[in-house]
A and B are shown apart, each in its own frame.
Chain A
């Protein structure tokens, strides 16, 4: 029985979060009226010329630095020539031979905790095309060029991945890096991050690669895994039946969970790449690159290590809390205010994440700020309130009942009662009010009494409207009850 090895390479297109287009001053804002953000340059009108956006360059270089890549001193823009309605100039300005980012690598962590280094072949800048809308305009297609000219960073990996899981992990790592750097919102559903997957199989032990198929525009981590799974099975079956894998472009259909050939009647396109004569060589000197290097934010791997090392979090917690920049920043915000990393970690991963998930919100839309949560956790830490009250306060904060934990604690009178005298007084009252239960307690076997304390504790908590410190109540209650026996 033949053993097959899967070989995967990924090409990830990341839309860079610049304000304006890569070659023009039109806005890149999402959701505008069709063609209202397509200026003369984007439309490819006669006589227009491109001018390069410095932010796109900076973001590309930052990505390169983030994956320890070479940043060549000179990079060149080339024209990729082909005809399509969403490509107004009849060519896409890209970088074929001298990309802005050279070879680098990304570390991925697999489920079992093992790490692997995936090599990145290069990353280059290019302009995005517009959009074609096929809803009927009486049999025509409508073209919206708002997106034309949005800067893309295309990140090309080496075919180093050997399983769907590795591919998904790599994609997540890329997503993490670009969101961390703030160079993209990485929203796959909205198309700001797109993935083309190259899959081939070969008999285990064979050095030569098999023929690969390219699955275009897979737009979620899960779909990447599913598409690869289907494709590998398809190719293996084909080869085991004596067939050959055709080098072709395929599409993944998530509803049918299968990949299908994109039936185009043309032979492979000859893009006739040549250096764009309207753009000059981009030269980046050491000073520029060094400046970007010093202003790089801490990247996911470093953060994870610091959370574990300095802050003492578990590997699991460190991983969850450093998964996205938003999460890491939020967590650190909470920790900075309350001064306790572990408590902060519990609260952020627990109550906070839970509520976010329940309402399907992103951290950015959270009604509770890191400071507010931090203040709440601080009150738990200093025992101003007990755990149960804290949950109430959190809910109240979320629902907008008050501006701060302290305000709500005050308004609802949730301050934990720790005064021994006060608690004793409450206990005495409860005892006085519960003659039947006291009698039962006294009459019970000593080893059965433990279970009956719950009733009294409950009564004391009720009397204190949940604010009595439970540990103190338990301790004092036990003392007093025992004294009665």
Chain B
């Protein structure tokens, strides 16, 4: 299945990846070929086959409801690009 540039733009937007037009064109070819490879899956008969999300047939372990974490804000925020009064700063969000 061939991809159109707008498919790439749409995916880029959903993934918040800034792509200019030349980028988009470059990726269209690559991605089309990857999808063509993925299309080979259609040849497999999967009637009645359940999807396998995890390789082992294991089930989720439950954790006891206890507070085990302490305040490590200072340590974690050393990596933050913009912080004030303990808050992470981003450009103003209009709701």
Name A residues whose Cβ lies closer than 8 Å to a Cβ of B.
Answer: 18-20, 24-27, 33-40, 43, 45, 51-57, 81, 83, 85, 132-134, 137, 139-145, 262, 270, 272, 275, 277, 279-283
Contacts and interface: CB of A to CB of B under 8 A. Distances in A.
Contacts of B72: 39-40
Contacts of B85: 34, 137, 142
Given A137-B84, A141-B93, A37 B64 contact: no
A142 B88 contact: yes
B26 interface: no
Chain B interface, >50% SS class: loop
A39 B65 contact: no
Given A39-B72, A281-B60, A282-B60, 11 more contacts: A20-B65, A20-B66, A24-B69, A25-B69, A35-B76, A35-B88, A43-B76, A45-B76, A85-B88, A143-B89, A145-B88
Interface in B37-60: 53-54, 58-60
Contacts of B2: none
Nearest to B89: A140
B4 to A, nearest CB: 16
Contact of B73 (A38, A140, A142): A38
A57 B60 CA distance: 11
B15 to A, nearest CB: 9
B68 A132 contact: no
Given A43-B76, A132-B93, A277-B53, A51 B88 contact: no
Contact of B68 (A25, A85, A270, A281): A25
Interface of B: 14, 16, 53-54, 58-69, 71-73, 76-77, 82, 84-93, 95
Given A20-B65, A34-B87, A85 B76 contact: no
A43 B77 CA distance: 10
17 contacts: A19-B66, A24-B69, A27-B69, A34-B85, A35-B73, A35-B76, A35-B87, A43-B76, A45-B76, A52-B61, A53-B62, A57-B62, A85-B90, A85-B93, A132-B93, A141-B92, A281-B60
Contacts of A143: 87-90
A52 B76 contact: no
Count chain B CB atoms within 10 A of each CB in A53, A57, A141, A272 and give the residue with the most. Answer: A141
Contacts of A19: 65-67
A270 B89 contact: no
Contacts of B65: 18-20, 53-56
B64 A280 contact: no
A36 B82 contact: no
Contacts of A281: 59-60
Nearest to A266: B13
A34 B16 CA distance: 27
